[in-house]
Amino acid sequence: MFGFSLSKLLVLAALIAAVWYGFRWIQRRQQLQQSADPDKVERDADPSSEDLIACSQCGVFVPAHGGRSCDRADCPG
């Protein structure tokens, strides 16, 4: 009744191989979807950061947007 025949062992090996390769195929598909998804790309960690530019007169870095000067009395910037 529970004897091990060659045909039963071959069927069992084929089933195990099919499940193994099926899981590998699913895992590869998920990895390709994650790498191709543009929404999963990491953005800047600090969204409140600003670009800075150097003042042309004194070299102090000031925000690029906002029109603020370097706040020095002797600088025209």
The Cβ of residue 69 has, within 10 Å, a number of other Cβ atoms equal to 13
Tell whether the model's pLDDT for residue 46 goes beyond 70: no
Check residues 32 and 50 and name the one with the higher pLDDT: 32
Tell whether the model's pLDDT for residue 41 goes beyond 60: no
3-class DSSP state for residue 34? Answer: helix
Average pLDDT, integer, range 38-63: 69
Mean pLDDT of the chain: 78
Q: Token digits for 8?
A: 């039963």
Measured CA to CA, the distance from residue 67 to residue 55 in angstroms comes to: 11
Tell whether the model's pLDDT for residue 39 goes beyond 80: no
**pLDDT tens-digit profile of 6-31?**
999 999 999 999 999 999 999 999 88
3-class DSSP state for residue 37? Answer: coil
